[in-house]
Structures are given as structure tokens and as C-alpha cells.
């Protein structure tokens, strides 16, 4: 992970650059980059659920290269012991009739943590994680509760837990304020980047110090909510209640800070309704159906333009996936459909997301025409 230290760059610009550089390196992981950086700024943890090989670990490694510090990584199984996560019991301490853990290189001394297959951990391990993740404190066995330096924990899993999971997993899921499903690469352009780019390792133009990161966190926590955004959040909660989705009080409260951090990440001076987009990863408890309901309600209430852009992009991918560019008639029909999508995007209110979508559609039109010319 290459990086160049630049002490003269304001911390907010460093955050913005890191966001862009991570998104540029990791294929179709813009949303995951935003979720993880938002969690880092908000002082929360993230759970990413998806098949292996989707870039979850690479994203955290990139973040570590930018933010520095110590990383702890472990693959949890039902046979994993607390010693593998928290550190072994000190033999020297036992000789002195003291039960103390040696935490060097383990989770209690990490700045960033990656817990792979976190939902498969044994009861003993999960019980240890609950307090450490929630309160960021740890008792090594000497009765002295100490603060841990943990800034961010990213948990990963291949599948969401079954609905009938016990309280242990429910409590662990609640420790991750942001939860997101990670899908494999879907677009043709993304597949091209994945296959033919030689390296997907992020390269950074800046790094950030621990003090700068603390400054960024304080600034993010101070971003004010606009009245429109407050009203939008309250309307979202009312709509969710009508849909049968009732996020807990603590989750609602933490969502306020998460949205502030996302607004800061986006460079805003206040929280606007469109920043509620990130709340779709917070305001639910049951992964069976609730995330989709929350995303739809938030899009309808806070960001209808963004929802329309997403729908149009899905339509584009459907057209591209069903088109054989070497068939001239097929390519012509696809080009006409993409042209219509571009016109619909142009009719939406101006904004970075709509403009980026228009640029993507124009690029796909060019690719389609070039492939058709090659086939002639």
C-alpha cells in the first residue's frame, strides 16, 4: 500500500482523498468504502456480510495503510478460544498466583480489527467481545479495567444468521451499528476492471495521524442537523413503524451520529435529508426483509432522486447483460434504450450521483458502438 505523507493537507481533505482513492482501487465497493469510513468517523463498528473474495479484508488493509496503527485479524470458528483473541494467560503471573492475560498482538491492543466469520465464534469468545466492542474496555484479569485503543472493528460473515438465533448473536449483531450486504461485482465495466487491472491495492496521496483522526471525529460529531433532515428522519421512523420495523432506542440514537459522520464525509456543513441514505444500514434489527424495507422508505422520504438513479442503473445493467454487441440489430436496440435512460437521468435534478450515472451510461454507449464497429 503506497502512501505519501503530506502534513500540510487539512484533515477533511485527507478524508475526502482517502475516500476517492479507496473507491478507485476497489471495484464496485464505493458503498462499502463509505460505510467503513463513516463508522471510523462516528466511532462505530461495521458488519459486512457476503461471499469470500469480495474485498472486505482488502478494504480494511487499505484503511490501515492510510490511518496507521496496529491491526488484529482472526478467523473465528466454534473452536476458537478466548486466548486466540484476547491473549494467553501469563505463566509468570500464575507463578505469582495472579491470573493475567498477555495481550501483546491481540485484540485489546489493536487500533483496527478484522473479525472474519464473526458470527461463528464460540460462546466464550462472543461473550468476551460484547463488552470490548461496546464499551471499548478490557480487564486483563488483574481487576483493572482499561480503555482499549480500538478505533474500528470490521466483522465479516458469509451469511446472515438464521431468524431463530439466540440472544448471544442478537447482542453481537447489535454491537455493529452499521450492517451491510456485500454483493459480487455486477456490472460489465466492473468485471472488466476486475479481470484486467493489474493491481487493486489502494495507493494514497496522504496519510492521517491519530491526532488528526480525533480532530475529524470531533468535527463530524459537531455537524448540525438541518430542520429538513430532522423532519425527514422522524418521517422515516413513522413510516418504518407502519411497515412493522421498530429499531431500538439505542440504535435510533446512534444513527443520528452516524448520519452526522456521513455528512462530514460528503463535505457538507450540515446534515441534509439526502445524507439519511447511510441510515439504511442502521435502522433495522432483523436481517430477514427489514433492510430492504428500510432502504425503500429512506429513499422515498429522503432521497427520491437517488432512488430513481439506482433504478435506472439497474435497468442499464439489465440491458447490457442481455445484449450481444456483435449482433448489429441487438446493439442498436440496446443503444436506443441506453439513450432513453440517459435522457431520463438528464431530466433529474442536478447532483453528483446523477452526473456520475450519466457519465457511466455515456461510456457504455461508446463501448457498445465500438464493439459493434469491430464486429462489422
Phi, psi torsion values for 272, nearest 5 degrees: -110, 165
Residue 297 within a domain: yes
Final residue belonging to a domain, choices 302, 318, 349: 302
For residue 165, tell me if it sits in a domain.
Answer: yes
Q: Are residues 151 and 187 in the same domain?
A: yes
Residues 26 and 150 in one domain: yes
Question: Cβ neighbours of residue 282 under 8 Å, at least 6 residues apart?
Answer: 177, 178, 179, 247, 251, 254, 255, 258
Same domain, 156 and 61: yes
Cβ atoms 213, 258 nearer than 8 A: no
Q: Are residues 38 and 165 in the same domain?
A: yes
Q: Is pLDDT at 287 greater than 80 in this prediction? A: yes
Do 166 and 255 share a domain, yes or no?
A: no
Per-residue model confidence as pLDDT tens digits over 42-67: 999 999 999 888 888 889 889 989 99
Give the model's pLDDT for residue 361: 86
Same domain, 87 and 192: yes
Cβ distance 49 to 181 under 8 Å? Answer: yes
Regarding whether 137 and 22 lie in a shared domain, the answer is yes
Residue 202 included in any domain: no
Task: Provide the Cα torsion 288, 290, 292, 293; round to 10°.
Answer: 150
Specify the 3-state DSSP secondary structure of 144: coil
Residue range 164-196, pLDDT digits in tens: 666 678 889 999 999 999 988 877 778 888 888
- Give 107-127 pLDDT, tens digit per residue: 999 999 999 999 999 989 998
Question: In terms of domains, do 42 and 127 share one?
Answer: yes
pTM listed for this prediction: 0.84
The range of the structural domain enclosing residue 83 comes to: 11-196
Q: Are residues 172 and 39 in the same domain?
A: yes
Amino acid at each position: 500500500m503506497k502512501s505519501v505523507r503530506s502534513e500540510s493537507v487539512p484533515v477533511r481533505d485527507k478524508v475526502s482523498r482517502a475516500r476517492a482513492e479507496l473507491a478507485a482501487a476497489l471495484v464496485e465497493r464505493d458503498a462499502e468504502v463509505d460505510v467503513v469510513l463513516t463508522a471510523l468517523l462516528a466511532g462505530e463498528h461495521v458488519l459486512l456480510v457476503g461471499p469470500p473474495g469480495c474485498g472486505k479484508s482488502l478494504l480494511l488493509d487499505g484503511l490501515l495503510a492510510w490511518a496507521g496503527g496496529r491491526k488484529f485479524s482472526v478467523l473465528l470458528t466454534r473452536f476458537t478460544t478466548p486466548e486466540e483473541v484476547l491473549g494467553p494467560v501469563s505463566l509468570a503471573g500464575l507463578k505469582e498466583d495472579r491470573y493475567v492475560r498477555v495481550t501483546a498482538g491481540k485484540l485489546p491492543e489493536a487500533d483496527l480489527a478484522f473479525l472474519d466469520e464473526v458470527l461463528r465464534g464460540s460462546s466464550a469468545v462472543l461473550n468476551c467481545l460484547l463488552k470490548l466492542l461496546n464499551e471499548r474496555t478490557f480487564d486483563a484479569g488483574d481487576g483493572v479495567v482499561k480503555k482499549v485503543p480500538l478505533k474500528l472493528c470490521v466483522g465479516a460473515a458469509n451469511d446472515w444468521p438464521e431468524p431463530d438465533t439466540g440472544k448471544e448473536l442478537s447482542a453481537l449483531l447489535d454491537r455493529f451499528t452499521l450492517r451491510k450486504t456485500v454483493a459480487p461485482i455486477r456490472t460489465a465495466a466492473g468485471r472488466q476492471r476486475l479481470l484486467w487491472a493489474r493491481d487493486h491495492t489502494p495507493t494514497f496521496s496522504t496519510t492521517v495521524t491519530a491526532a488528526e483522526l480525533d480532530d475529524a471525529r470531533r468535527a463530524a460529531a459537531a455537524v448540525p442537523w438541518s430542520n429538513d433532515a430532522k423532519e425527514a428522519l422522524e418521517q422515516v421512523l413513522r413510516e418504518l413503524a407502519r411497515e412493522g420495523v421498530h429499531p431500538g432506542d439505542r440504535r435510533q440514537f446512534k444513527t443520528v451520529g452516524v448520519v452526522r459522520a456521513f455528512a462530514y464525509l460528503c463535505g457538507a456543513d450540515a446534515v441534509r435529508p439526502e445524507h439519511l441514505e447511510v441510515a439504511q444500514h442502521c435502522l433495522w434489527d432483523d436481517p430477514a426483509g427489514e433492510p430492504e424495507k428500510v432502504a425503500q422508505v429512506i429513499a422515498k422520504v429522503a432521497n427520491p432522486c437517488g432512488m430513481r438513479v439506482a433504478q435506472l442503473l439497474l435497468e442499464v445493467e439489465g440491458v447490457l447483460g442481455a445484449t450481444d454487441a456483435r449482433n448489429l440489430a441487438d446493439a442498436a436496440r440496446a443503444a436506443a434504450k441506453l439513450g432513453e435512460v440517459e435522457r431520463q437521468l438528464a431530466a433529474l435534478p442536478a447532483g453528483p450521483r446523477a452526473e456520475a450515472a450519466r457519465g457511466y451510461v455515456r461510456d457504455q454507449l461508446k463501448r457498445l458502438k465500438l464493439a459493434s464497429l469491430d464486429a462489422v
